[in-house]
Amino acid sequence: MGAPAASSAETPARVTLPTFVIGGAPKAGTTALWAWLNLHPQVGMSRIKEPVFFTETANNPVPGVHKIGPPRAITYRRGIGWYERLFRGSEGCVARGDASPHYIGAMDGPELMLRHVQELKVVFLLRDPVARAYAHFWEYRKRGYRMQPFEAVLDDDPALRYLIYMSRYRQHLERYRAAFGTDRMRLYLFDDLRSDPESTFSDICRFIGVDPTFQPAFEIAHNPYAEPAIRTLHDVTTASKRFYPSLVPRFVRRPLSRLRDAIEGWNLRSTPYAPIDPQVRLRLIDVFDEDIAYVEQLTRPLPAWRQALATAPAP
């Protein structure tokens, strides 16, 4: 007689997980890259843009550093089954991706990624660390969070330490390089994504193993800075993100979220934010000297990252 058939309990379930992640950095073009890849016929991106699954320390990455704004849900505790469902329907795709830019600051990110996806590839987009922190500051201002002026980062304001922490490229990239090596981790620059999106996107496609000749509409702006026309209305929609998950039944959360996002989008007006004070920028360039040198070592000389006047922010 042949061996008995394996029971369903003994047969491992088919798991559909990402083949790559875009791990950061925030305000370095990750939204645009996610949108372009989401259009690629061979790529399946997670149904939630930023699941931030591979970390349990998203709100307090290291002692003394706290995420700005309301606490983020710790999605890792929902289990791998919850995460897998975000890729349902993409089983036939050549590559599947998760774009969570806050992974770059996650101390436990590499360990959790490799625990579940041993062959995972990681993409990082890096921006001038001072300009990145400054853009991040204005992103939180757009969301309605009340903060000290940006200059307070020079005095190590505890409420703003997160902005500096997320630009500590050497600290973060050394951790990921140790885990993934050079074959499964790639660095790309915000400068190149903006000045030559065609070549940069093609190279990213080659890295993740999909057709590099596909070209989306690069001229469309993604995640531009905007100011609310009616601040009170913006405060209400922002506050609702914090409270409605615990107050609203699950079956109506999605339509309410869409309504809230529509109201929020209607209320926002795209506008450039004020340029950084050159003296503040110079002092922060000194703060990030080792981080800039580290990225230059891995990529190429970046003299613009050390100039007193930064290039204009992307639209």
Contact 99, 49 (CB under 8 A): yes
Among the residue ranges 2-6, 48-52, 219-223, the one predicted with the least confidence is: 2-6
- HSE (side-chain half, CA atoms, 13 Å) at 47: 11
Q: Which residue has the higher pLDDT, 23 or 263?
A: 23
pLDDT at 273: 84
Q: Residue 257 above 70 pLDDT? A: no
Predicted confidence (pLDDT) per residue in 105-119, tens digit: 999 999 999 999 999
What average pLDDT does this structure show over 40-46? 96
What average pLDDT does this structure show over 299-314? 81
Q: Residue 241 above 60 pLDDT? A: no
- Distance CA(113)–CA(23), nearest Å, equals 11
Q: Which residue has the higher pLDDT, 160 or 313?
A: 160
**CA 271 distance to own-chain centroid:** 22
- HSE (side-chain half, CA atoms, 13 Å) at 188: 27
- Distance CA(198)–CA(192), nearest Å, equals 9
In our burial notation (b when 16+ CB lie closer than 10 A, e otherwise), range 164-192 reads bbbbbbbbbbebbeebbeeebbbbbbbbb
Residue 3 binned pLDDT confidence (cut-offs 50, 70, 90): very low
Residue 311, classified by CB atoms within 10 Å of its CB into exposed (0-12), middle (13-18) or buried (19+), is: middle
Amino acid 244 reads Y
In whole angstroms, how far apart are CA 234 and each of 139, 203, 254, 257, 273?
13, 39, 19, 14, 17
Predicted confidence (pLDDT) per residue in 153-192, tens digit: 999 999 999 999 999 999 999 999 999 999 999 999 999 9
- Distance CA(254)–CA(174), nearest Å, equals 39
Q: Are strands 121-126 and 95-99 parallel, antiparallel or unpaired?
A: unpaired
Residue 253 binned pLDDT confidence (cut-offs 50, 70, 90): low
In degrees, to the nearest 5, what angle opens at C-alpha 61 toward C-alphas 58 and 67? 60
Q: Which residues pair with 43 in a beta bridge?
A: 95
DSSP per-residue letters across 28-87: SSHHHHHHHHHH-TTEEE-SSS----S-S-SS-SBTTB--SSSPPP-GGGG-HHHHHHTT
Residue 11 binned pLDDT confidence (cut-offs 50, 70, 90): very low
What average pLDDT does this structure show over 199-208? 98
- Of the chain, the end-to-end C-alpha distance in Å amounts to 70
What average pLDDT does this structure show over 25-52? 95
- Distance CA(23)–CA(148), nearest Å, equals 28
Contact 147, 159 (CB under 8 A): yes
DSSP H or E run through 119: none
